[in-house]
């Protein structure tokens, strides 16, 4: 069966994508720039910018001269490739074999597929209309070889279809640049006056090889089909999902446990091979009456230990209502991460983070994950904001813990107190807290902490450490200054 290939060319891949994400950019000229040798160069221009004469490769300063109101966005390196890979994944609905063709195209092997759409013309039209509807400007062509499809997509008519074995006729009138040649060879062809492929396609191979090297003959052969050309189609990701249909509907907790164990074993085997682990998983059961019941678990670090995962699910199995019976069990890992392999520790028994993480998972499954906190320092002075919760169990602090003296017991909300102060800026002589008068024997301070003015405005806090005669130590602060309004006093914590 002859091979058929479809070549797609995204004329403005990155700018079209940005315009899709930000619809307000559709009608404005904008460019993507990146620094090259100290200058900001235009990497891609939108359709409107191209119409103004701003081409990729000009410097941003020159482009601004052409259109002062030009919108400028940073070009992220590698973005185009990632975008193409995602588009190739999307194209898998049209053919099982698709591959990105950098910098801005896709190659699809469509042998034996188009009849499902009612012929190649209908197939091509469907693909183009969907992509155009998304907002991409696309050109495409179908031919027997990758080379011919590539040439026709870029230099032929829009939606050009070269029939079986007709690539030679289709190529005759195209320029030599459509053969994917090196610039040096193109220059030589131009110098000799070869403006169309038809002018040199019939020349003897020996002559062409002597003049232009092996590359031209190879590319010509690939376009005509006499040379083999391969491409590497992408491998679609298989979802982490396992299913277990049951012969008889399952109604007992024991039966559900057995099903869960089987599913976990097979899923964890696969995860173990790939070095991955579950962070979030859902266990679903399809009941006889058509209703799906499910339980969800989350782990604090990726795990593929079936016993541990089973224990987490086991806490929630009583929540599954089998009613008349469950016919189909599904286990799906919808958040999968790489497992950090622990270093084997032979002599040091305590401190295995995986075991601690498993304990925390069990606690989280029973109490809810919002109950477990690990804190990291944050570069802020306001006491309530000086710590932030850690996102993961393995997260390390990014700044050092501060050396300032802070109370071990900090009240969540400062409690107002009434004080007796001899002089402004002095610590109080005594204060009244919860109906009891505390006489201050010794005091330290003040430590002034200003409001974070970029977030909130207000008077500063002056903190004092005070100690009473019995040795109880308190952290007090005065909100505001004497002489500027009425300052208030608060108790904010107890020192050890």
The binding site for other proteins (CB under 8 A) comprises: 348-356, 359-360, 362-363, 366-367, 371-377, 383, 386-387, 390, 396-397, 401-410, 412, 441-444, 465, 467, 469-474, 493-496
Residue among 37 and 350 whose Cβ is closer to other proteins: 350
Closest CA to 44 of 59, 31, 58: 31
Q: What is the DSSP string of 89-113?
A: HHGGGT-SEEEEETTTEEEEE-TT-
CB of 280 to other proteins, least distance (A): 20
Residue among 53 and 353 whose Cβ is closer to other proteins: 353
CB of 60 to other proteins, least distance (A): 44
Which residues have C-beta within 8 Å of that of residue 268, sequence separation ≥ 6?
Answer: 304, 305, 306, 309
Q: What is the DSSP string of 253-300?
A: HHHHHHHHHHHHHHHHHHHHHHTEEEEEEEEEEEETTS-EEEEEEEEE
CB of 366 to other proteins, least distance (A): 7
The H or E element that residue 358 is part of is helix 353-367
- How far from each other are the two terminal CA atoms of the chain, in whole angstroms? 84
CB of 364 to other proteins, least distance (A): 9
Residue among 401 and 482 whose Cβ is closer to other proteins: 401
From CA 495, how far away is CA 468, in angstroms rounded?
A: 12
Residue among 4 and 308 whose Cβ is closer to other proteins: 308
Tokens of 197: 């492929």
Residue among 162 and 440 whose Cβ is closer to other proteins: 440
Residue among 348 and 484 whose Cβ is closer to other proteins: 348
- Edge-to-edge, what's the strand order for the sheet holding 39-45? 39-45, 30-36, 71-74
CB of 303 to other proteins, least distance (A): 14
Q: What is the DSSP letter of 382?
A: S
CB of 67 to other proteins, least distance (A): 52
The DSSP bridge partners found for residue 491 are: 415, 476
From CA 387, how far away is CA 380, in angstroms rounded?
A: 8
The DSSP bridge partners found for residue 447 are: 463
CB of 474 to other proteins, least distance (A): 8
Tokens of 426: 């002095």
Pairing of strands 30-36, 71-74: parallel
CB of 441 to other proteins, least distance (A): 7
Residue among 99 and 438 whose Cβ is closer to other proteins: 438
Residue among 230 and 399 whose Cβ is closer to other proteins: 399
């Amino acid at each position: 069966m002859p091979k058929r290939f479809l070549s797609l060319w995204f004329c403005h891949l990155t700018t079209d994508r940005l315009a899709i994400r930000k619809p307000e950019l559709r009608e404005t000229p904008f460019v993507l720039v990146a620094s090259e040798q100290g200058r900001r160069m235009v990497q891609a221009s939108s359709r409107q910018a191209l119409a103004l004469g701003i081409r990729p490769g000009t410097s941003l300063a020159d482009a601004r001269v052409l259109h002062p109101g030009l919108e400028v966005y940073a070009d992220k390196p590698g973005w185009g490739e990632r975008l193409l890979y995602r588009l190739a994944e999307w194209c898998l609905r049209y053919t099982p074999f698709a591959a990105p063709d950098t910098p801005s195209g896709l190659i699809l092997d469509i042998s034996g597929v188009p009849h499902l759409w009612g012929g190649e013309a209908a197939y091509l039209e469907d693909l183009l209309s969907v992509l155009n509807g998304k907002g991409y400007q696309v050109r495409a062509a179908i031919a027997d070889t990758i080379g011919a499809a590539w040439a026709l997509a870029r230099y032929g008519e829009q939606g050009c279809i070269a029939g079986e074995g007709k690539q030679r006729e289709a190529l005759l009138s195209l320029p030599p640049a459509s053969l994917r040649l090196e610039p040096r060879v193109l220059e030589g062809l131009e110098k000799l006056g070869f403006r169309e492929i038809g002018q040199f396609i019939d020349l003897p191979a020996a002559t062409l090889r002597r003049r232009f090297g092996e590359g031209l003959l190879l590319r010509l052969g690939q376009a005509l089909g006499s040379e083999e050309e391969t491409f590497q189609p992408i491998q679609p990701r298989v979802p982490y999902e396992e299913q277990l249909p049951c012969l008889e509907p399952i109604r007992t907790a024991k039966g559900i446990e057995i099903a869960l164990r089987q599913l976990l074993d097979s899923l964890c085997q696969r995860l173990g091979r790939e070095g991955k682990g579950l962070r979030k998983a859902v266990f679903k059961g399809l009941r006889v009456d058509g209703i799906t019941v499910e339980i969800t678990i989350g782990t604090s670090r990726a795990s593929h230990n079936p016993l541990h995962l089973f224990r987490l699910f086991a806490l929630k199995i009583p929540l599954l209502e089998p009613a008349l019976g469950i016919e189909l069990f599904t286990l799906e890992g919808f958040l999968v991460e790489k497992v950090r392999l622990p270093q084997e520790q032979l002599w040091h028994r305590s401190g295995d983070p995986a075991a601690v993480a498993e304990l925390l998972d069990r606690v989280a499954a029973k109490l809810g994950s919002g109950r477990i906190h690990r804190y990291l320092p944050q570069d802020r002075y306001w006491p309530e904001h000086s710590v932030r919760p850690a996102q993961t169990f393995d997260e390390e602090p990014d700044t050092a813990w501060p050396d300032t003296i802070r109370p071990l017991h900090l009240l969540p909300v400062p409690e107002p107190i009434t004080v007796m102060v001899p002089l402004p800026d002095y610590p109080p002589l005594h204060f009244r807290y919860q109906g009891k008068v505390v006489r201050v024997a010794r005091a330290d301070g003040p430590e002034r902490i200003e409001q974070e003015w970029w977030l909130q405005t207000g008077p500063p806090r002056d903190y004092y450490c005070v100690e009473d005669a019995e040795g109880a130590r308190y952290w007090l602060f005065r909100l505001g200054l004497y002489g500027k309004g009425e300052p208030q006093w608060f108790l904010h914590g107890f020192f050890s």
